[in-house]
Amino acid sequence: MNRRPLYVAFVWNQHQPSYRDAGTGELIMPWVRLHGSKDYYQMAAILEGYPKIRQTFNLTPSLLEQLECYGAGEKDLYQKVDRPAEALGDPEKHYLLHHYFDIHWDRVIRQYPRYRELLELQGCSREPAEVGSAVERYRPQDYRDLQVWFNLAWIDPEIRSSDPLLRGLVEKGAGYTEAERRLLQERQSDLLGGIIPLHRRLQEQGQIEIMTTPYYHPIIPLLIDSCSALRACPGLPLPRRFQYPQDACEQLKAAAAQYRRLFGSRPKGVWPSEMAVSPEMVALLETFRFDWSISDEQILSRSLETEIIRDGYGHVLNGDLLYRPYRVRGAGGEITMIFRDHHLSNRIGFEYQHFRHEDAAADLVHRLLKIKENLSWAPENHLVTLSLDGENAWEWYQGDKGPFLHSLYRRLSEEPLLCCCTVSEYLAANPPQRRIDHLFTGSWVDHNLTRWIGTENKNRLWEYLLDAREAIERCREFSPGPEQIEQALHYLYIAEGSDFPWWIDSMSYHLAAPFEALFRKHLAAVYRAVELAAPERLARPLIQPSPGDSSPLEDSPVGPISMVSTDHGPE
């Protein structure tokens, strides 16, 4: 084996959609705040102990925007009931008992005696209608302990153990005071406020690279032309054609502007939402001076019309195809692209949670060394890209992310044949030597776009979106001012986000309903902005519960256990 190292790029995708209710102006879901204090801070901070490990992080603009909202003092609905227990009314108590167990019950809640006791006192129910009987069983101290344990459990375990205040709260276990509840709130706020400065500092030091995404996480190929979905799935039933490439331009323009404001430079890398790509988007990315982008190995395979071959253990046998950058041409433009190892990325996302952390780390390092061995004949350097969500998997790991990542980073730091690098660092020394002339249109999900279009309700969503988009264009001639058009487009761009069609017709009703309700409120706000009456249908749910499904309460947020669905990958 030659002694040239195999380069490894970890690319973590940190994304949350916009949770702002366009009707009330409130943030209705807490996942920016909770994953911020558990994942987004610590995923970067852990690297400070491993200077040889360099990584790339995608921080989506919608996530960054909401982090700034929390920094400005905004609160989400979950925080509205996090106040003195003696002052809580019955609706607030009911809300607490329904939502303050929204974390993995076995991996988290049942590891702490008092939190487990509170869950059992509630009745271990996820149904809103069934928790009402528990309201009277709880005393004020029980509610206060629940408030503390929910927020405490959502802080990364390693942060809890290293922080004297948080460690003391864990050790105390019960009987918390109002002063302790408030101190916990302040500590959580401090963590959120540190996320952006931490990433900026690590990027300036060269240990990480930060990339961006179209602002509200739309599926860019579908914005450019919704009929592009037919390329992977001929005959797919589609709604009326949505064709607004200018919206894709504005989503990218806004992302680049936010990046420059927060990080003081232009972004070199761009993560297409859900790794969804098409030839038409290539020229768009070049227009905004992005140096490189990323997608999935299934897209590479179909672009090259060549299979990525694996043996029975999952090892790639023709790794010279997968483990390299490409110069991709499309619609009059060019950009460099890398393609993630689908199998290894999914092992981190879905398989290693079942391993002991030492065994999981050893398995991944072994597989990387096997790639190195299989490429020992090649004179060129190669890059293995491991890319996935930076938050969703860890709730399923015993002890969260820390035990696995520490074990993995120690092994990687000590292995001379493996070199962890940022993507731009690798590309600067190893520019692409091969080209792709026909980029396949699809995403990481089954190499097509059907997760976002093609079913009855997904298509209705696109019809509603198109109606609102066309209404904006009609209003340009008589709108009282450009400010109103700009405001209408703001709400429309949010409604173009991928998370709305992702849930509809793909997840159970009670998970999809809150997103569907947000979507309709954003479109209603489009019409209000240009002083038009919103279509009556926007006041009615687009989806209906199946027999036996309970209807969610108004503005009822989904829980994170559901959001860690086993088929949800890089976003």
pLDDT per residue, tens digit, the chain (571 aa), is 578 999 999 999 999 999 999 999 999 999 999 999 999 999 999 999 999 999 999 999 999 999 999 999 999 999 999 999 999 999 999 999 999 999 999 999 999 999 999 999 999 998 888 898 999 999 999 999 999 999 999 999 999 999 999 999 999 999 999 999 999 999 999 999 999 999 999 999 999 999 999 999 999 999 999 999 999 999 999 999 999 999 999 999 999 999 999 999 999 999 999 999 999 999 999 999 999 999 999 999 999 999 999 999 999 999 999 999 999 999 889 999 999 999 999 999 999 999 999 999 999 999 999 999 999 999 999 999 999 999 999 999 999 999 999 999 999 999 999 999 999 999 999 999 999 999 999 999 999 999 999 999 999 999 999 999 999 999 988 867 899 999 999 999 999 999 999 999 999 998 899 999 999 999 999 999 999 999 999 999 999 887 766 554 443 444 433 333 334 456 5
Closest CA to 107 of 167, 38, 190, 11: 38
Domain span holding position 252: 6-15+24-68+195-436
Look at the chain and report how many structural domains it folds into. Answer: 3
The CA distance from 571 to 556, in Å, is 23
For residue 29, give the 3-state DSSP assignment: coil
pLDDT at 1: 52
Task: Verify that 474 and 426 share a domain, yes or no.
Answer: no
CB 202 within 8 A of CB 46: no
How many angstroms separate the Cα of 59 from the Cα of each of 17, 40, 204, 514?
A: 12, 9, 16, 24
> Which of 436, 469, 485 is where one domain is finished?
436
Checking DSSP bridges between strand 333-340 and strand 326-330, what pairing results, if any? antiparallel
Amino acid at 480: P
CATH number at residue 500: 1.20.1430
Q: Is residue 445 part of a domain?
A: no
Q: Is residue 326 part of a domain?
A: yes
Task: Verify that 209 and 305 share a domain, yes or no.
Answer: yes
Task: Verify that 61 and 92 share a domain, yes or no.
Answer: no
pLDDT at 559: 40
> Which of 189, 213, 238 is where one domain is finished?
189
- Looking at the DSSP assignment, which residues form a beta bridge with residue 295? 339
Task: Verify that 266 and 361 share a domain, yes or no.
Answer: yes
Task: Verify that 391 and 304 share a domain, yes or no.
Answer: yes
The CA distance from 525 to 504, in Å, is 21
Phi-psi region of 236 (alpha: psi -120 to 50; beta: other; left: phi over 0): beta
Task: Verify that 138 and 211 share a domain, yes or no.
Answer: no
Q: Is residue 444 part of a domain?
A: no
How many angstroms separate the Cα of 19 from the Cα of each of 26, 101, 106, 171?
A: 8, 20, 27, 34
Task: Verify that 292 and 428 share a domain, yes or no.
Answer: yes
Q: Is residue 367 part of a domain?
A: yes
CATH number at residue 204: 3.20.110.20
Closest CA to 553 of 190, 127, 41, 156: 127
Task: Verify that 521 and 418 share a domain, yes or no.
Answer: no
Q: What is the CA radius of gyration of the chain?
A: 24
For residue 470, give the 3-state DSSP assignment: helix
The CA distance from 120 to 144, in Å, is 16
Q: Is residue 442 part of a domain?
A: no
Task: Verify that 411 and 283 share a domain, yes or no.
Answer: yes
Q: Is residue 443 part of a domain?
A: no
- Looking at the DSSP assignment, which residues form a beta bridge with residue 505? none
Task: Verify that 230 and 345 share a domain, yes or no.
Answer: yes
CB 508 within 8 A of CB 549: yes
Task: Verify that 184 and 201 share a domain, yes or no.
Answer: no
Q: Is residue 450 part of a domain?
A: no
How many angstroms separate the Cα of 13 from the Cα of each of 83, 111, 390, 556?
A: 33, 28, 5, 26
Q: Is residue 350 part of a domain?
A: yes
pLDDT at 3: 83
> Which of 122, 157, 189 is where one domain is finished?
189
Task: Verify that 47 and 86 share a domain, yes or no.
Answer: no
* CA terminus-to-terminus distance, the chain: 37
CB 276 within 8 A of CB 449: yes
Amino acid at 387: S
pTM over 0.85: yes
CB 512 within 8 A of CB 570: no
